[in-house]
Structure 1
Amino acid sequence: MQTDLIIIKDYCNRCQVDPAFIVELEEDGLISIQVIDEERYIPVSQLAELERYTHLYYDLSINIAGIDAIQHMLKRIENLQREVRSLRNELGFYR
């Protein structure tokens, strides 16, 4: 078995998360799930995102559509910040 995967059932039990929530996240394309021998896994690399989504959903009562919108806006902000850094670097070159 790969060590870079987390069994979804175990994650849900430890974090008191409904497995249907994780399935909804996958259906909306927010996370990816791998199925190996009929067991569902999430890559460790997506754990931080899953925890963020869990916090938004359970602690802040934001629905899946809202989480999707927030994720889209955060990615857009990251892209804009990269663009600003790049433009600042170019501007510094001409000074």
Structure 2
Amino acid sequence: MQNDLIIVSDYCDKCHIEPAFIDLLQENGLIDILLEEGKPCLAFSQLPDVERYSRMYYDLSINMEGIDAIHHLLERMESMQKEIAALRGRLRMYGDLF
């Protein structure tokens, strides 16, 4: 198995979450589950997102629809922050002309 993957059942055991929660995340398009040697796995790069969703679901009692809405809002906010940074860069370039 690749070093950048963790088996879903192992992750769930270590983090004390139910595998069905991981299935819900995949069904809602929030994460991708990969099959490695016939076993469902998560990429390490997805673990921060899974941990965030897990805190929302278990600690804050936010349902899957709410998590999906929050996910889309955070993506939109990140996109807008990148756009603002690019616009500030362009303004600095024009500011140097005067």
TM-score by length of 1: 0.95
Shift of 1:14: 1.1
CA offset digits 1:55-83 (Å, max 9, x no partner): 11001111111111001000100111111
Corresponding residue number in structure 2 for 1:57:
57
Name the larger-Rg structure: 2
Separation in structure 2 between the aligned mates of residue 37 and residue 87 of structure 1, nearest angstrom: 46
Count of aligned residue pairs for this structure pair:
95
Corresponding residue number in structure 1 for 2:77:
77
Shift of 1:37: 3.0
Corresponding residue number in structure 1 for 2:47:
47
- Secondary structure of 1:40's counterpart equals strand
CA offset digits 1:11-49 (Å, max 9, x no partner): 111111010000010011000001223311001110110
Q: Which consecutive segments of 4 or more residues in structure 1 shift more than 2 A?
A: none
Separation in structure 2 between the aligned mates of residue 93 and residue 6 of structure 1, nearest angstrom: 45
Separation in structure 2 between the aligned mates of residue 86 and residue 3 of structure 1, nearest angstrom: 36
- Secondary structure of 1:56's counterpart equals helix
TM-score by length of 2: 0.93
Corresponding residue number in structure 2 for 1:22:
22
- Secondary structure of 1:21's counterpart equals helix
Separation in structure 1 between the aligned mates of residue 65 and residue 85 of structure 2, nearest angstrom: 30
Matched to 2:64, the amino acid is I
Structure 2 residue 71 is matched with structure 1 residue 66: no
User: Which runs of 5 or more residues in structure 1 are unaligned?
Assistant: none
The CA RMSD measured in Å over matched residues stands at: 0.8
